[in-house]
Amino acid sequence: MMRLTAAMAAAAAVLACTSCSSGGHNPGTVVAASQPPADLTKPTASAPSDPGAIVTTGPIMVEQQIDVVALRAGIVAALNTDVGSGVRQGQMLARLDDRQIAADCSAAEFKVHSLESDLKNWQAEVDVRKTDLQRAEAMRQAGINTQEALDHVRYDLQATEFEVERQNNEMRSAQSALQSQQLELEKTRIAAPFNGTVSQRYVRLGQYVNIGDKLFQLTGTSPMEVRFTLPERDISVLRRGDLVTVSPAPDFAQTTTASVTHLSPVVDPGSGTIEVTAKLTHNIPGLIPGMVASVRVARTQ
């Protein structure tokens, strides 16, 4: 009987402890402090500062980007630049073998000098014939000479003047031939048409090229443009002259502005978008032609 009473007392004690731990605060238990909720209104590094802005992407392009081609056939005799080199307008990029054309150019130049000397000789002859005519006219007035002799001197003067004109035309023809040879010689000098950077080189030293073969790709450094698209529902957001924000990374940690220069007048029916072109107002590190940049368009402008 005493054992039964002790067992019942122990069971009652267990039930009491269980009730206290489930219904009230247990001072022996450590409770972790709750952290405050995150501030969702504060912009993060990967989100635009304007939550209502339109964020899109587009390639960075330059207005001046061309392939420099060969204007005459020949062997590449010299390469003066390579990929990544900055060049100035008129700077020689390469040179074709010009020995034959240089010799032809020298021959044409010597011919011009020879004809110029002949022309001066005939012009001096004209002065002599004019003097003879004056003397013949004086002799005719004095009755010393006949009319036939006077006419003969006059005809000699006219013939000499025609010879001067013919010689002058031959000299001009030779000068034009020299100019043509000089232009052909210039074609062997491959020069940069504008300031920029050599982005591609298609030829090697000693390679034979034909007319029209690509030699270099030259990319201008400025002005740079960004081209992107907007949904047709946002056509009214932008106008020509408005500014957009451009960044080399999606987090917009480093930005510059671009002025809208072109808005497509039609909507692409396949994608339902319009194309926009904006010119960068300032270049920043990280924005280079050919890369895809992030663009932010504010709806409030």
> What's the pLDDT tens digit per position in 236-266?
889 999 999 999 999 898 999 999 999 999 9
- Bridge partners (DSSP) of residue 257 are 245
Q: What confidence tens digit (pLDDT) does each residue in 97-138 have? A: 999 999 999 999 999 999 999 999 999 999 999 999 999 999
pLDDT for residue 21: 42
Fold match flag (54-63+223-297 vs 65-97+189-219): no
Q: What confidence tens digit (pLDDT) does each residue in 210-243 have? A: 999 999 999 887 788 999 999 988 888 899 999 9
Would you identify the CATH topology of the domain 65-97+189-219? OB fold (Dihydrolipoamide Acetyltransferase, E2P) (2.40.50)
Tokens representing 274 are 């319009």
CATH class of this structure's domain 54-63+223-297 = mainly beta
- The more confident residue out of 22 and 94 is 94
pLDDT for residue 35: 40
Mean pLDDT, residues 72-77 taken together: 96
pLDDT for residue 143: 86
pLDDT for residue 65: 85
- The more confident residue out of 39 and 150 is 150
pLDDT for residue 25: 41
pLDDT for residue 112: 95
Mean pLDDT, residues 147-153 taken together: 91
pLDDT for residue 13: 44
Mean pLDDT, residues 147-168 taken together: 93
- The more confident residue out of 165 and 23 is 165
pLDDT for residue 48: 46
Mean pLDDT, residues 168-186 taken together: 95
C-beta separation of 74 from 208 below 8 A: yes
pLDDT for residue 220: 84
DSSP 207-265: -EE-TT-EEEEEE--SSEEEEEEEEGGGGGG--TT-EEEEESSTT-SS-EEEEEEEE-S
Q: How many CB atoms lie within 10 A of CB 152?
A: 13
Q: Is 284 helix (H, G, I), strand (E, B) or coil?
A: coil
* Domain boundary assignment for the chain: 54-63+223-297, 65-97+189-219, 99-187
Burial of 250 (0-12, 13-18, 19+ CB in 10 A): middle
Q: What confidence tens digit (pLDDT) does each residue in 2-52 have? A: 443 444 444 444 434 444 444 444 433 333 333 444 333 333 333 445 667
> Percentage of residues in the chain with pLDDT exceeding 90?
64
